Amino acid sequence: MEQRSRVLVVDDEPSITDLLAMALRYEGFDVAVAHDGRGALRAVTEQRPALVVLDVMLPDLDGFEVARRLGDRGPRVPVLFLTARDATADKVRGLTVGGDDYVTKPFSLEEVVARIHAILRRAAGDGGDNRLVFADLVMDLDTREVWRAGHPIELTDTEFRLLRYLLLNPRVVLTRAQILDHVWDYDFGGDANVLETYIHYLRRKLEPYGERLIHTVRGVGYTLRLPPG
């Protein structure tokens, strides 16, 4: 089962491995950690992870070389690259040496978790719809399309990530701190009012096609639910 899969997190910054390990365990994964390329290769042999979250900038072997060596070993292990690099050439190289996807630092935990779920579904050959549905609201995680009552909704990247987090937790009251931690960067230090601004943006785009689904819980945060009655 995907929820019991083991994920190997490889990064030379303990703060990042600790953060990702905590988030992934919360999601139900077993987690192993390595802090350099050779340690990653040993851990793959010993731990047999279902997926590797692999930083590109490591102190010995870089992530590209680790992925190449893993590909030479067989059987293939899915790889999600975690990198501060955003140059197209680096992204292309990562996918060429056997990576399945990449997330650019600074990242949101929710984004990393969603990419891991998507990669594991593909690796398992799951051909089902990768969609989140609540009432008449539909989000396709693969195509990044959203519909409300059959009407396409154009969202920015931040709006999409915010709505996805709400859809992943329907009827759950999410605190402002939880939403900021999951949707914005892991080291977010900006104005918390940005959350209220983006909730407003989402409501403005969704509510012309139906009743309010995103509700404010005063003094706590927000929840995605049907209105009472």
For 2-123, give the CATH class: alpha beta
Give the model's pLDDT for residue 85.
Answer: 64
pLDDT in tens, 175-195: 888 888 778 754 455 566 899
Which are the contacts of 35, defined by CB distance < 8 A and separation ≥ 6? 10, 11, 12, 14, 17
Task: Identify whether the C-beta of residue 60 lies closer than 8 Å to the C-beta of residue 18.
Answer: no
Amino acid at residue number 21: A
Task: Identify whether the C-beta of residue 67 lies closer than 8 Å to the C-beta of residue 99.
Answer: yes
Determine the distance from the C-alpha atom of residue 135 to the mean position of all C-alpha atoms in its chain, rounded to a whole number. Answer: 23
* Tokens 């909704």 -> residue: 153
User: What is the SS3 assignment for 43?
Assistant: helix
* Tokens 């703060």 -> residue: 15
pLDDT in tens, 2-45: 446 899 999 999 999 999 999 999 888 999 999 999 999 999 99
Give 32-49 as a DSSP string.
EEESSHHHHHHHHHHH--
For 131-224, give the CATH class: mainly alpha
Which are the contacts of 209, defined by CB distance < 8 A and separation ≥ 6? 136, 148, 149, 151, 153
Give the model's pLDDT for residue 36.
Answer: 96
For the entire predicted model, the pTM comes to: 0.60
Give the model's pLDDT for residue 86.
Answer: 61
| H helix and E strand count, the chain | 8, 12
Residue range(s) occupied by CATH 3.40.50.2300 in the chain: 2-123
Q: Long-range pairs for 37-41 at CB < 8 Å and ≥24 separation?
A: 37/10, 37/61, 37/62, 37/63, 37/65, 37/66, 39/10, 40/8, 40/10, 40/66, 41/66, 41/69, 41/70
pLDDT in tens, 79-119: 999 887 665 566 666 767 778 888 888 788 877 888 888 78
Residue range(s) occupied by CATH 1.10.10.10 in the chain: 131-224
User: What is the SS3 assignment for 149?
Assistant: coil
